[in-house]
């Protein structure tokens, strides 16, 4: 992940954008400035929100929480992102899915790794 990799959300319609290179302008949607999402590592419910990175036989698995996160219609993990050596891998989820994602990467080949996820109620979280 680059230092400037930011995620913004429109609090009216729910549009979300990921900024890979920042400029001086402001992001606007529905005629309002978009909200910059802060990456959380603590606060309400870290046991259900912190992404946990695990090595598997097939690569890397990211689970959301030490206690599985609910995957209900109105409260779920919408996506999981793995950032490995400045490459971003994303899996989109839907209600009923398991709150986890598998990526076919060799852990021994990775020098920097981080994960983040977005909860529809509790926002953006990143691995500690």
Superfamily per CATH, domain 46-126: SOR catalytic domain (2.60.40.730)
Buried b (16+ CB within 10 A) or exposed e, 17-32: eeeeeeeeeebebeee
Tell me the pLDDT tens digit for each residue of 99-114: 999 999 988 888 999 9
Residue 2 binned pLDDT confidence (cut-offs 50, 70, 90) = very low
Query: What pLDDT digit, counting tens, does each position of 21-43 carry?
Result: 888 999 999 999 999 999 999 87
Contact between residue 50 and residue 77 where contact means Cβ atoms under 8 Å apart: no
Greatest CA separation for the chain:
48
β-strand pairing of 60-64 with 51-55 = antiparallel
Give the HSE-up count for residue 43: Cα atoms under 13 Å, Cβ half-sphere: 11
Dihedral sign computed on CA atoms, order 91, 86, 11, 126: positive
Q: Where are the domains of the chain?
A: 6-36, 46-126
CATH topology of domain 6-36: Rubrerythrin, domain 2 (2.20.28)
pLDDT interval class at 4 (50, 70, 90): low
Q: How many other C-beta atoms are found inside a 10 Å radius of the C-beta of residue 107?
A: 14
**Over the stretch 57-93, which tens digit does the pLDDT of each residue have?**
999 999 999 998 999 999 999 999 999 998 999 999 9
């Amino acid at each position: 992940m680059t230092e400037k990799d930011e995620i913004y959300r429109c609090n009216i319609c729910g549009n979300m954008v990921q900024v890979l290179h920042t400029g001086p302008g402001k992001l606007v949607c529905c005629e309002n400035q978009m909200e910059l999402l802060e990456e959380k590592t603590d606060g309400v419910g870290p046991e259900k929100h912190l992404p946990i990175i695990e090595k598997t036989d097939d690569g890397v698995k990211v689970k959301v929480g030490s206690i599985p996160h609910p995957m209900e219609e109105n409260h779920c993990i919408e996506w999981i992102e793995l950032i490995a050596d400045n490459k971003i891998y994303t899996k989109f989820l839907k209600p009923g899915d398991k709150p986890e994602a598998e990526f076919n990467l060799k852990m021994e080949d990775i020098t920097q790794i981080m994960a983040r996820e977005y909860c529809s109620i509790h926002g953006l979280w990143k691995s500690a």
